[in-house]
A = this chain, B = another copy of it.
Amino acid sequence: MVPSTVDALAAERSKAQFDIAEMNRFIVDEKTRVKTAKIERILAAEPEMFNLRNVYFMSRKEKLDHALKIGVRLIELMREGKLTSEEVSYADFILDINGPFGLHRAMFIPTLQSQATPEQQELFLKPALNYEILGCYAQTEIGHGSNVQGLETTCTYIPETDEFDVHTPNIRACKWWVGSLGISATHAMVMAQLIVNGKSHGPSPIVVPIRSTVDHTPMSGVTVGDIGPKFGFNTMDNGFLMLDHVRVPRVNLMQRYISVSREGKVSRPSNVDPKVTYGTMMLVRAEIARNMCSVLARATTIALRYTSVRRQFAGISDKPLTSKTESPVLDYSMVQYRLIPLLAQNYAMFGVAQVYSELYEECMREMDRGNFGLLKELHATTCGLKRWTSDVTIRGIDTCRHVCGGHGFSQFSGLNEFFGNAYPNIIWEGDNYVLSQQTSRFLITQIRNLRKGKPVADNQTTQYLQKHLVDGRLAQVPQPAFVGRSIESLVADPEVQLDLLSYRAAIMASELVDQMDEHGQSWNRSLVDMQRLCDAHSDYIVALYFRCHIATLPRSSPLLPVLNKIAALLFLYILEQHSSDLFRLPGRAAFTNAQVNRIEKMLANFIEEVREQAIPLVDAFGMSDLRLNSALGRSDGRVYEDYLQWAMEDPLNTDDTGKAIRKEWFEKYYKPVMHSAETSKKAAKL
């Protein structure tokens, strides 16, 4: 007798060797837990409004309409005092509906807060906070993405009228991708090259009214619209904007960090806060790195629950098909190998999010005190973590979809609409490949400084470079701590694990600097090495932060056994994935074939062990059914019943809409094809 999917999931759950709620409290910080619970309560109270079940059936237009409806309701809830602005943004994240008011909150208002003078705040920020004007942040141009300095839109001071002339000089300068611009915004914060008296002063933000607040028609000289359908994110009205010598008053230029006087004198305050340049970039990337853990958790929850109830073949033994009861696909080692290390990475990411947040707060506090020593290292690490977490997440969602087989391809898996929405995280805020240069550049600079005997700031990165290198160079001594140790003893000792992971990054960095400085390898030719270096550094940081997070538990915690297993598994997985790096370590540090074989065997053992706790472990992520929006990942295991039911709800199938559609198609297409053949055949017979 084949157990039902409901019973199979319950059986998995009953295997828990730890308290699921306790684990949830450990891995998700209190603030997030409270916020999530509050929002989900409010959403659940209005199931008609916040229904996500129909999203998979919607056209682009219907999605935008749905997002607008939800967006307006959330603003109402805010006005009623039931949600804060921050909670509204988090509700968007939970619903995975990035609506047309999103960038007003995420970019337009923050820019006004940080770059407007008090007078300008009165003029723009106040109505923005009241949603009397709707804003967007227009930086990217169709021909210019990452390179802000290369933007071509101009704003030229016209002393005669005390105005700026904001202009799109050619098609490459057409603003593009700007969120909330396509349909919604009445005002755009335009990044434009500031030109005063014929002299260029670099890109500066300036407020340009683009649509009437009275009837929403475009202002004179403004060409604006939606950039069209995308791979995901279709609830957002990303837009384009071309300005034909549009005039705005001088006060519209954000004047906190640069100001233009009535006479056309340009001045900058001398005490520009470095937080403005590094800080805001870092803030957004930090947010991505911190969010990815719960994005990935959505996918791992669905995939692990589904593969533990999905059965295919009776193939666990050497003789497939001898038994009649098929095996859960999660019992196949190949499925485990694809999902369990991903689960370990996901656990690590939750730890990283918490430890990183503390470091970030500390760095901000230090900067407020005038100490910028942590800033550059944290910036480099943030770039690496943004890349690491978003890469793992996007590849991970794809793995989760694929491991669900055909059903992963259905929208009702919950993994596809969601994949499209999550995908831009590897592109925006610094494409992951470009971003690797930021991290590597920092490591390279530190090594060059060490080699020149220059002083370096004291931080996690310079610590390991100094530990493993002598004056920035490879040396016979000190011998790293892992040399001569068995894999078993490595697995038992977190300190030595970190020693190995940081040694790998230090050697890679040192060898890259050798290539560049001693063998003339150009920067461009070094880009492939740089991304490997960035990943090696990030592997170490992830392992380090994860261990730091686990170390906050009391030694008697019942959560420790499984968490230590997960951390060891992650360590072995990093080694196994990069075994080539291990063979290439210098001198006695180089791994042997036997050691790498041992790593693979031990990894397989750990995977088998952690698989046993897989369902309790994903339950501990605390992903609600609302958020999963998936037939395959349902917490009650009613997979196929719900999947079929959901299909029945398709507008093509239902009695109210489907019947008419199908009748129309029958008359228009099927009948002519089928009956014309018959008719012509009958005619031929006569």
Contacts and interface: CB of A to CB of B under 8 A. Distances in A.
Given A71-B669, A410-B230, A677 B130 contact: yes
A220 interface: no
A581 B406 CA distance: 32
A332 interface: yes
B225 A640 contact: no
A494 interface: no
Contacts of A648: 225
Nearest to A404: B427
Interface string A647-679: 110111100001001110110111111100110
B65 A665 contact: yes
A359 interface: no
Stoichiometry, copies per complex? 2
A26 interface: no
A313 interface: yes
Interface in A53-97: 56-62, 64-65, 68-69, 71-72, 75
Nearest to A338: B433
A404 to B, nearest CB: 9
A168 to B, nearest CB: 11
A481 interface: no
Interface stretch (A142-150, A153-161, A564-572): A142-150
A231 B411 contact: yes
Contacts of A668: 68
Given A225-B647, A531-B334, A406 B428 contact: yes
Nearest to A529: B600
Identify the interface centre among A409, A412, A525, A646: most chain B CB within 10 Å of its CB.
A409
A197 to B, nearest CB: 21
Contact of A228 (B311, B596, B646, B661): B646
Contacts of A332: 524, 527
Given A69-B669, A523-B315, A674-B134, A229 B56 contact: yes
A524 B431 contact: no
Interface string A523-540: 111111011000000000
Contacts of A310: 143
A131 B673 contact: yes
B131 A674 contact: yes
A144 B312 contact: yes
5 contacts: A58-B59, A64-B665, A144-B312, A232-B409, A405-B431
